[in-house]
Amino acid sequence: MSERDTIKASEIAEYVFCNRAWWLSRVSGRKSTNVRQMADGTSYHQAHGRLVRRAHQSRLIAYVLLAVAMGAIIFSILQLVT
């Protein structure tokens, strides 16, 4: 299967938004004149993706620290009891 035969999710979204724009781009071969805006959008989405990854990493670190703290509390209670 060639890359031209592969349909990306962004192409489906583009077609649903404006099937004429999709046709002009894919079939007619015309390029968009909004190159700067598309580059800005790509930069924004990349920055947002980094922010989301950082949030997931922070949540994982918080869970690990919470587990360590709970373990330390349980260990301290067991030391007092014995």
pLDDT of residue 9: 86
Where in the chain are the domains?
7-81
Q: How far is Cα 60 from Cα 63, in angstroms, rounded to an integer?
A: 5
pLDDT digits (tens, 9 = 90+) for 2-60: 556 788 888 888 889 988 988 888 888 788 788 899 899 999 999 999 999 999 999 99
More confident residue, 64 or 15: 64
Contact 31, 25 (CB under 8 A): yes
**Residue 70: pLDDT above 80?**
yes
Contact 25, 17 (CB under 8 A): no
CB environment 23-49: b (16+ within 10 A), e (fewer): eebeeeeeeeeeeeeeeeeeeeeeeee
